[in-house]
Structure 1
Amino acid sequence: MALLIACVFFSLRTDTFLSGGNLSLVIQQVMVVGTLAIGQTLVILTAGIDLSNGAIMAFGSIVMTKLVVDGHLPPLLAIVIGIGVCAAFGLGNGLLITRISLPPFIVTLGMLNIAFALTHIYSQEETVTGLPTEMTALGNTFSIGETEVTYGSLLTILLFLVFAYVLGQTAWGRRVYAVGNNAEAARLTGIPTRRVLVTVYTVAGVVYGVAALLLVARTGVGDPKAGQTDNLDSITAVVLGGTSLFGGRGLVIGTLLGALIVGVIRNGLQLMGVPSIYQILITGILVILAVSVDQISRRRTR
């Protein structure tokens, strides 16, 4: 409903909002954050949170671009290594949370700083340019009627569909929900909760690696300054999509709608000429409203 109301409002206030080109632009603008939000959804469903995903994505993008440009590795191999590095960060998060019993907030906050520092150390504060066409292929477009659509947007939508199936139709997905709903009860029923959590954070890391590739494809460079606020944007998309911050409840398709809500509001306000600071203000209000609704609904079910 929020998405429909926003679309109707901006279509009445501007002449270009409902144009095919603008709607395609909205999808392009949310594809990186939306992909990050898939991994964030997995983590939040287990009653955790990942503050490091934007920094991990930025480091992955620098690794794969520098390996190609400076290391002269084949693009496909560099992409695989970059995604592997992001997966390693996710694995590290999972192991620290499960083996040492550290809070996810503290672990991922520390990992954010580590990934951020490594990004700037490895890149030497320089943007990586001169990328081969293979690394930016997902930024290419094809036509549907008079609308240009990027291949990266299709990949993002495909990932949402895949994870919607995995969470809703597989044993692993049911275990993720069970752990988030009540970890101790899940353990007593025989679910290996530690293994599930480690897998969740590792899979999330792989998704962050894919987001790094989409970031490179969209910008055409390896930017060490990228992703600095994407962690908060991904949490915003998850919360607006109806996933409970307390774990155990939510849908990944809801996250897609949440990302689109943020993208539509920001795009519509830009078309109306509203300063960007008010876009941030409205996004913050929406997050508080979404969490408040979730908290009230939880109290009523008790």
Structure 2
Amino acid sequence: MTTSSTDSASTSVPAASSTTPGPASLPDFDDHRTASPRIRIQQLLHANPTLGPLAVLVLAIVAFTFSNPRFFSAPNLSLVLAQVTVIAVLALGQTLIILTAGIDLSVGAIAVFSSILMASLAVKAGLPGPAALATGLILGTAMGALNGFLVTRIKLPPFIVTLGTLTIFFSLNSVVSNSETIRGADMPALLTWTGTAIPIGTFRLTYGSIIMLLLFALVLFALRNTAWGRHVYATGDDAEAARLAGIRTGRVLLSVYTAAGALYAIGAWILIGRLASASPNVGTDYNLDSITAVVLGGASLFGGRGGVLGTLIGALIVGVFRNGLQLAGVEVVWQGFAIGLLVLVAVSLDQWIRKVRT
């Protein structure tokens, strides 16, 4: 009798599990949803954030080439790359901060102030070119570190911190420069070297653009192949979970803002070469342009998702659209309208992608 009841009990479990709906039925539902084209596209874009921006860039290049054959000429493409270089470097620093779910509104202020400091130290203080450049880079890095200190130690929101330092740095910029532009001809050759172009046929590649590409390669390697890069993503994805996992999120955030400041300072050096001068009156659009490039590149403003390749593509999209619309005879105000519309579409797409079923 005991054996019979045991056998009966043992055979009843599979029978119940085979007739009772439970978790085993869920994969069929997920597979059905995954089979739909909309879900497949959503999952593809979630897994490869750069695909969407890359498609937009290619379509924009094709469209503007058809509208005006001059667009795809080597001299014009050289101009687009030169115009994008400064914004791309600033957007690279902005990317690091946005990956941690922060925002930096002081991008343009740090870059312009650093350029003024480099030029003033060389021209007014009489420092040699290397010393003026090194000091400017250090001070620019310190400005980024100040933002990081206020965010991590004083616990102020990144938006408020960088809004405040935006005003402070632009004010100091006016004081140091006396609102006067310093000509490149008066500076040591090292400060304007980044604007020197290397002719490749009819295409002209500046040293500033080469530096920009090297910086992207360096940051890409750091984010993909180092513990620091993994900690940056983890902090942006869920800071509390990262802290509980043993990651020192405060140190990560401080290092990110400091690295961003260093990138902004290098962008300032490239800016001097680009303009062949140091002007306190430039950079008013750099903050929005850098954020635009990051958003168009597929990075999430909520942190934890995105990459530097997308940011480079996003910066190119901004440059291509502005140049292409200008060649098409579109007024500046409508160029801004088009860029703003792209940003809204990109943010809406990001919200949709974040709802993907995994």
Q: Shorter-chain TM-score category? A: over 0.9
CA distance in 2 between counterparts of 1:168 and 1:49 reads 22
Amino acid corresponding to residue 231 of structure 1 in structure 2? N
**Number of the residue aligned with 1:15:** 69
Return closer, same or farther for 1:119/1:301 CA change in 2, 3 Å cut-off.
farther
Partner of 1:153: 209
* Corresponding letter in the other structure for 1:49: I
Residue pairs, 1:6-155, within 5 angstroms: 6-129=60-183, 130-155=186-211
Report the Cα distance in structure 2 between the residues aligned to 1:265 and 1:187, rounded to whole angstroms.
41
Structure 1 equivalent of residue 49 of structure 2:
none
Letter in 1 for 2:211: L
Q: What are the superposed Cα offsets for residues 176-231 of structure 1, whole Å, 9 maximum, x if unpaired? A: 00000000000011101000000000000000000000000111111001211101
Q: Percent identity?
A: 53
* Residue equivalent to 2:44: none
Q: 1:253 aligns with which of 309, 324, 330?
A: 309
**Which consecutive unaligned segments of at least 5 residues does structure 2 have?**
1-54
Deviations 1:67-102 (A, max 9, x none): 000111011111111111111111111111111111
TM-score, length of structure 1 as denominator length: 0.98
Tell me if the contact between 1:241 and 1:257 (Cα under 8 Å) persists in the aligned partners. yes
Residue 345 of structure 2 corresponds to 289
Q: AA paired with 1:243? A: A
Cα pair 2:128 2:188 within 8 Å, conserved: no
Cα root mean square deviation, aligned: 0.9
Counterpart selection for 2:272 from 216, 231, 234: 216
Counterpart for residue 329 of structure 2: 273
- Cα distance, 1:297 vs structure 2: 1.7
Following superposition of structure 1 onto structure 2, how do residues 143-222 of structure 1 map, counting pairs within 5 Å? Answer: 143-222=199-278
Q: Matched residues in 2 for 1:148 and 1:56: separation?
A: 28
Could you tell me which amino acid in structure 2 is paired with residue 134 of structure 1? Answer: L
Q: Which runs of 4+ in 1 moved over 4 A?
A: none
Amino acid at match of 1:241: G
- Answer with 78-87 or 106-115: which moved more: 78-87
Determine the C-alpha separation between the residues in 1 that align with 2:127 and 2:357. 55
- The one-letter code sitting in structure 2 at the alignment partner of 1:195 is R
Q: Specify the structure having the higher radius of gyration (Cα).
A: 2
Task: Kindly state the Cα deviation for residue 299 of structure 1 after the two structures are TM-superposed.
Answer: 2.7
Q: Retained in 2: the 8 A contact 1:131–1:220?
A: no
Is the 8 Å Cα contact of residues 138 and 150 (structure 1) preserved in structure 2?
A: yes
Query: Partners in 2 of 1:98 and 1:111 — Cα distance?
Result: 15
| More deviation, 63-72/291-300 | 291-300
- Once residues 175 and 181 of structure 1 are traced to their aligned partners in structure 2, the CA distance between those partners, rounded to angstroms, is 10
Amino acid corresponding to residue 14 of structure 1 in structure 2: N
State yes or no: 1:239 paired with 2:295. Answer: yes
| One-letter amino acid of the counterpart of residue 10, structure 1 | F
Q: CA deviation at 1:301?
A: 4.1
**Separation of aligned partners in 1, 2:225 and 2:168:** 36
The 2-side partners of 1:98 and 1:138 are apart by 34
8 Å CA contact 2:89–2:263 kept in 1: the answer is yes
Q: What is the count of residue pairs matched by the alignment?
A: 302
